Amino acid sequence: MKYTEYNDLYGRNEFGREFTAYLNVVTGIQSLAQGDYVSEEAASSNVKSKLIQQFLDSPMDDGNGLKLKKLYAAAMTIAQSKSAGNLNVNNAAQTAVIIDDALTRFKVSYLKENGTLNIDDAIEYLVDRTTARAVFLIDKVIDKGVPVVLTAIGNAVAAVCPPAAPVGRIIQSSARFVTPAVKQAVHRGVSFIAEKSKSILSSVASSFVSIGQSVRSKVKNWF
């Protein structure tokens, strides 16, 4: 949609509703996709990771997650440099989004299944995380005092929605290093969130005020 104004009277609130709805939708679509990608339980490793279990058991947003995510970033960089792993990530922004989304889903799925989070809170947390990433991605391409490159903004918006396959691979890789019970909980949680997302997406799609009818129809027709 073309915005000709952006102020408190018109444009700002409309854009806020539209962008928030978009972030809801792409989060839900990713949840649906992961329901397919994580449809089989991951093979187990004999090695169990205390760091991964600590991440799962620690409070939300307490910093343990960032440490683990940085390790994953290093692992992906090394794999990429050795042409190993076939993760096919193109750039740093996409890599970071994949890691952040995958590990967030890994944790949220586990917490949903162990009763720490109910399904609504689990999904709200996923959308919050998508929103946080979106804001930072846009912030990164807008420098104060410098003319904006609109294509860079477009690329930032596209980067919010990572490809599903590497996200699923990271979830599956992580599940190898936890106990069978935890792995099964993650697997069930991913599936449950996928199912719930299906019904949420149908209703959210109708709230797309500004996106064209053809796109709204497409989103609704997916389910």
Partner 1 sequence: MENNFDKILESLLMDFEKNPNQDIDNFIQSLKTKYSLNPQDMHFLSETLGYLDGFEKEAASLSKVPQTISYRKDWLLERLDSIMEGRSEEEKAQIVTAVSERESEVLSSLNNDN
Residues 82-121 that bind partner 1 (CB under 8 A): 82, 84-87, 92-93, 95-97, 99-100
Q: C-alpha dihedral over 72, 133, 28, 7, to 10 degrees?
A: -170
Query: What is the secondary structure of 149-206 as a DSSP string?
Result: -HHHHHHHHHHTS--HHHHHHHHHHHHTTS-HHHHHHHHHHHHHHHHHHHHHHHHHHT
Choosing from 39, 88, 120, 132, the residue that interacts with partner 1 (CB under 8 A) is 132
Q: Which stretch binds partner 1 (CB under 8 A): 109-117, 131-139, 179-187, 188-196?
A: 131-139
Contact positions with partner 1 (CB under 8 A) in 178-207: none
Choosing from 139, 179, 180, 203, the residue that interacts with partner 1 (CB under 8 A) is 139
- The residue (of 66 and 181) whose beta carbon lies closer to partner 1 is 66
Cβ 109 to partner 1 shortest distance, Å: 18
Q: Which stretch binds partner 1 (CB under 8 A): 112-120, 156-164, 182-190, 195-203?
A: 156-164
- The residue (of 115 and 144) whose beta carbon lies closer to partner 1 is 144
Q: Which stretch binds partner 1 (CB under 8 A): 45-53, 111-119, 182-190, 193-201?
A: 45-53
Q: CB within 8 A of 22, min separation 6: which ones?
A: 208, 211
Is residue 186 within 8 A of residue 175, CB to CB? The reply is: yes
Could you say whether residue 212 binds partner 1 (CB under 8 A)? Answer: yes
Q: CA–CA separation, 187 vs 182, rounded Å?
A: 9
Could you say whether residue 161 binds partner 1 (CB under 8 A)? Answer: yes
Could you say whether residue 55 binds partner 1 (CB under 8 A)? Answer: no
Q: CB within 8 A of 4, min separation 6: which ones?
A: 11
CB atoms within 10 A of CB 19: 17
